[in-house]
Amino acid sequence: MRKELEGKRAECKAATVINSQHQPADLLTAEFCFQSRFGSDVASDIKPSLHLKVLQVTYENKAVEIMAEYDKNPEIGDLIEIFKGPYQHWAVYVGDGFIAHSAPASEVAGDSASSMKAVPHEKALVKKDKLRVVVGTNKWKINNILDEEYEPRPAHIIVRNACALVGKEVPYCVLRKNCEHFATELRYRKAESRQVRKAEVVVQGVFLSIGFMGLFLALARLLTALFGSRKENKNEQ
């Protein structure tokens, strides 16, 4: 494998990993991240040997920072949480480096779109993609989020059901049928979304605050009117 990569070393002359220990990355790890970022197939089978935070490489005489975080190797049926901007995209790991996930029609591969799209209702396409392609430069982790609440289906059943949906259109709704609902339903038979839960709590808090503010203003007006009328009556006397 090293011989196959000799021609690529000129493109990846310098590589440094900035992490909590400030340790350098080995060349193969650097080239894996470099080629994952720039689309080459040469290093597609190389496994990263370090837990990376920020990778800096020299590409065409320009310093390029590549964000990359690699978790332990997922097992089939695991849920994958991908951090895209302020939201998360969810998928099911189906083996051999592939994931199954629901992607709204408006979502473009590699875009910053997420399961919490602003579009309220539309169709989603179930896709089977390479995990590293969908992750891109984003962070990700294995997150079987509801294992303590529900018993997961057997892994082979999760994978079978997920793969049976690949290529099909499914309903999509940001509040009831987003990609997190899709993933959790496959694993637990329960379509739940932590993102929606959090959003609902925030909205309820806002309305509660508005309610308290309205009550405070009404009370203030009542007291002003009450004491104001008493003052006027006293002045008249």
- What per-residue confidence (pLDDT) applies to 201? 53
Q: Where are the beta strands (DSSP E) in 168-235?
A: 169-173
The answer on 210 and 188 residing in a single domain is no
Q: Domain count for the chain, please give it.
A: 3
Choose between 38 and 88: higher pLDDT.
88
- Whether residue 182 is found in the same domain as residue 99: yes
Q: Looking at 162, 177, 192, which one is the last position of a domain?
A: 192
Q: Could you report the per-residue pLDDT of 98-150, keeping only the tens digit for each? A: 999 998 866 644 444 444 444 445 889 999 999 999 999 999 999 999 999 99
- Per the domain annotation, does 237 fall within a domain? no
- With bands split at pLDDT 50, 70 and 90, how would you rate the model's confidence at 16? very low
Same domain? 83 vs 188: yes
Query: What pLDDT, on a 0 to 100 scale, did the predictor assign at position 174?
Result: 82
Listed in sequence order, the residues at least 6 apart from 44 whose beta carbon sits closer than 8 Å to its beta carbon are 35
Mean local confidence (pLDDT), 186-207: 70
Mean pLDDT, residues 22-41 taken together? 46
Q: Judge contact between 48 and 70, C-beta under 8 A.
A: yes
Q: Please check whether residue 72 lies inside any domain of the structure.
A: no
- Between 232 and 180, where is the model more confident? 180
The verdict on 155 and 211 lying in the same domain is no
Residue 73 belongs to a domain: no
Q: Residue 187: CB partners within 8 Å, gap ≥ 6? A: 77, 79, 92, 144, 146, 152, 153, 158
Calculate mean pLDDT across residues 64-79.
68
Q: Is 217's pLDDT higher than 90?
A: no
Same domain membership, residue 208 and residue 176 = no
d(CA 48, CA 45): 10
CATH code for position 137: 3.90.1720.10
Strands 98-104 and 121-130: antiparallel
113 and 179 share one domain:
yes
Shared-domain flag, residues 123 and 55? no
63 domain residue, yes or no: yes
Angular region, 170: left φ>0, alpha ψ -120 to 50, beta rest: beta
Closest CA to 131 of 177, 69, 195: 69
**Whole-angstrom Cα distance, residue 135 to residue 71?**
12
- Give the DSSP H/E element, type plus range, for residue 21: none
Tell me, yes or no, whether 99 and 160 share the same domain. yes
What local confidence, expressed as pLDDT, does residue 140 receive?
A: 94
Q: Is 179 among the residues known to form the active site?
A: yes
Q: What is the pLDDT of residue 96?
A: 94
pTM of the model: 0.56
The H or E element that residue 132 is part of is: helix 131-135
12, 33, 101, 181: the catalytic one is 101
Whether residue 165 has pLDDT greater than 70: yes
Question: What's the pLDDT at 87?
Answer: 81
Q: Kindly state whether residues 60 and 85 are assigned to the same domain.
A: no
Same domain? For 117 and 188 the reply is yes
- Residue 79 DSSP SS3: strand
- Rounded to the nearest integer, the mean pLDDT of the chain is 68
Is 74 part of any domain? Answer: no
Q: Looking at the domain assignment, is residue 174 inside a domain?
A: yes
Is residue 20 a part of any domain in this protein?
A: yes
* Segments forming the whole domain that contains residue 47: 2-67
Tell whether 120 and 178 lie within a shared domain.
yes
Reply yes or no on whether 89 is catalytic.
Answer: yes
- Give SS3 for 70: coil
Residue 157: which pLDDT band, with cuts at 50, 70 and 90?
very high
Q: Does residue 90 have a pLDDT over 90?
A: yes
Can you give the pLDDT at residue 11? 39
The strand pairing partners of 16, in sequence order, are: 56
Instruction: For residues 103 and 182, give the distance between their C-alpha atoms in angstroms, rounded to a whole number.
Output: 10
Judge whether 17 and 52 are in contact, CB under 8 Å.
yes
Q: How far apart are CA 8 and CA 31, in angstroms?
A: 8
The active-site residue, picked from 89, 121, 163, 173, is: 89
Q: Which of these is catalytic: 12, 33, 179, 181?
A: 179
Concerning whether 33 is annotated as a catalytic residue, the answer is no
153 and 133, same structural domain?
yes
